[in-house]
Amino acid sequence: MADSALTSLLAERSILLDRTATDRFDAVRQCGAALVAAGAVDESYVDAMIQREETVSTFVGEGVAIPHGTLAGKEAVKHDALVVLRFPDGVDWEGNTVSVCVGIAAAGGGHIALLSQLAEILLDPEKAEQLRTATSAEQVYALLAPDEDED
């Protein structure tokens, strides 16, 4: 796929597999902090992510949420990046339980292709389950890498 592959935007140190959060906003803040730590965004992007979450939940199903900033927050994006945070105990997300947050920083229109690739993966219940239960960065990379030898 010519579009930016998910794995190229995900640094290994941005995969945090053993987190706990008090609520969904705490989880979103942690995703924001991970994006700041990755050098992808300014601090102000974290507030933009919270704002987006307040406006509409970023829960997408399959125990996964995709926190990201508002349109106004795009100026705080230095480069496109992903972070993957896993919450083994689950986080209550307006009545749903979220086990994995994929935090997204995207400055241009690239997020549409990103989200499309991510959604394709999550539409496969087996892969979604593997993502929810991943215990190593290698497993996460393997799941997010484009399919090469299977349908």
Partner 1 sequence: MPERTVSIASSVGLHARPASLFSQAAAKAGVPVTLTTKAGKSVNAASILGILSLGIGHGEEVTLKAEGDGADAALDSLVELLSTDLDKE
Q: How far is the CB of 114 from partner 1 (least distance, A)?
A: 9
Question: Cα torsion at 51, 112, 133, 126 (round to 10°)?
Answer: 140
The reply on whether position 111 binds partner 1 by CB under 8 A is: yes
> Could you say whether residue 125 binds partner 1 (CB under 8 A)?
no
24, 52, 68, 86: the catalytic one is 68
Contacting partner 1 (CB under 8 A), which of 115, 130, 139, 141? Answer: 115
Neighbours of 80 (CB within 10 A): 18
List, as own/partner pairs, every contact residues 46-54 make where C-beta atoms lie below 8 angstroms and the sequence separation is at least 24, other chains included. 47/73, 48/72, 48/73, 48/76, 49/73, 49/103, 50/25, 53/24, 53/25, 53/28
**DSSP string for residues in 37-88:** HTTSB-THHHHHHHHHHHHS--EEETTEE--B--GGGGGGBSS-EEEEEEEE
Among 16, 45, 62, 100, interactor with partner 1 by CB under 8 A:
62
Using CB under 8 A as the binding rule, whether residue 68 contacts partner 1 is answered as yes
Q: Which of the stretches 10-18, 35-43, 58-66, 138-146 binds partner 1 when contact is defined by CB under 8 A? A: 58-66
Decide if residue 118 touches partner 1 (CB under 8 A). Answer: yes
- 46: tokens are 């974290």
Q: Which of 120, 129, 138, 147 binds partner 1 (CB under 8 A)?
A: 120
For the question of residue 79 being annotated catalytic, the response is no
Catalytic residues: 68
Residues found near partner 1 in the complex (CB under 8 A): 52, 55-58, 60-62, 66, 68, 70-71, 109, 111-113, 115-116, 118-120, 122-123
